[in-house]
Structure 1
Amino acid sequence: MSTRCLVALTALLAFITAGCGAAADTGAPAGNGVEPSRDVLSAVVVDEAAAALLPADVKARGVIRFAASIGGTPPSAYYAEDNRTALGQDIDIAEGVAKVLGVRVEREAASFEAILPALAAGKYEVGTGNFGVTEARKQTIDFVTYVNDGQGFAVRANDDRLSGVDRLDQLCGLKIGTGTGTTFEATLEREKHVCPDQGKPPYEVLPFSEGSAVYLGLQQGHLDVVMNTINGLRHAAANQPNLRFLGEFKRLDVGFALKKGSPLAPALQAAVNELIESGAYRQILDKWGTTDSAIPRSEISPPEHS
Structure 2
Amino acid sequence: MAEKTKRSQIYAALMLAFAVAFATAGCGAADAGAGTAPTADVLASVVKDDAIAALLPEATRQAGVVKFASSVGSVPPAAFYAEDNKTLQGVDIEIAAAVGQVLGVRIDREIASFEAILPALASGKYEVGTGNFGVTEARKKTIDFVTYINDGQGFAVRKDDTRLKEVKDLTQLCGLKVGTGAGTTFEATLEREKHVCPDAGRPEYQVLSFSDNAAVFLGLQQQHIDVIMGTINGLRHAAAGQPNLAFLNEFKRLDVGFAFKKGSPLAPAFQGAVNKLIKDGTYQRVLAKWGTGDSAIPESRISPPEHP
TM-score normalised to the size of structure 1? 0.94
CA 1:191–1:22: 2 relative to 1, 3 Å: closer
Does the 8 Å CA contact 2:155/2:248 hold for their aligned counterparts?
Answer: yes
Q: Deviations over 1:41-74 (max 9, x none)?
A: 0100111111010011111011111000012111
Indicate the SS of the match to 1:299.
coil
Partner of 1:71: 73
Does the 8 Å CA contact 2:148/2:256 hold for their aligned counterparts?
Answer: yes
Alpha-carbon distance between aligned partners in 2 of 1:201 and 1:21, rounded to the nearest angstrom: 34
Show the 5 A alignment for 1:10-21.
10-11=18-19, 15-17=26-28
Partner of 1:169: 171
Alpha-carbon distance between aligned partners in 1 of 2:153 and 2:20, rounded to the nearest angstrom: 26
Show the 5 A alignment for 1:7-46.
7-11=15-19, 15-17=26-28, 30=36, 35-46=37-48
Alpha-carbon distance between aligned partners in 2 of 1:12 and 1:266, rounded to the nearest angstrom: 47
Q: Which runs of 5+ in 1 are unaligned?
A: 24-28
Partner of 1:113: 115
Alpha-carbon distance between aligned partners in 2 of 1:305 and 1:242, rounded to the nearest angstrom: 31
Query: CA RMSD for the aligned pairs?
Result: 1.7
Partner of 2:191: 189
Q: Does 75-84 or 112-121 show the bigger shift?
A: 75-84
Does the 8 Å CA contact 2:30/2:214 hold for their aligned counterparts?
Answer: no
Indicate the SS of the match to 1:105.
strand
Alpha-carbon distance between aligned partners in 1 of 2:245 and 2:150, rounded to the nearest angstrom: 23
Indicate the SS of the match to 2:118.
helix
Show the 5 A alignment for 1:287-302.
287-302=289-304
Partner of 1:99: 101
Q: Post-superposition, which runs of at least 4 consecutive aligned residues in structure 1 deviate over 6 A? A: none
| Equivalent residue letter for 1:46 | K
Partner of 1:148: 150
Structure 1 position 221 matched with structure 2 position 223: yes
Alpha-carbon distance between aligned partners in 2 of 1:6 and 1:19, rounded to the nearest angstrom: 12
Q: Deviations over 1:158-208 (max 9, x none)?
A: 000000000000000000000000000000001000000010000000100
The count of aligned residue pairs is 297
**Identity level (%):** 67
CA 1:295–1:17: 2 relative to 1, 3 Å: farther
Partner of 1:262: 264
CA 1:176–1:38: 2 relative to 1, 3 Å: same
Alpha-carbon distance between aligned partners in 2 of 1:276 and 1:282, rounded to the nearest angstrom: 7
Q: Does 109-118 or 41-50 show the bigger shift?
A: 41-50
Q: Deviations over 1:240-280 (max 9, x none)?
A: 12000001000000000000000000000000000000100
1:12 offset after TM fit, Å? 5.3
Structure 1 position 134 matched with structure 2 position 136: yes
TM-score normalised to the size of structure 2? 0.93
| Equivalent residue letter for 2:68 | F
Q: Which runs of 5+ in 2 are unaligned?
A: 1-8
Alpha-carbon distance between aligned partners in 2 of 1:19 and 1:213, rounded to the nearest angstrom: 8
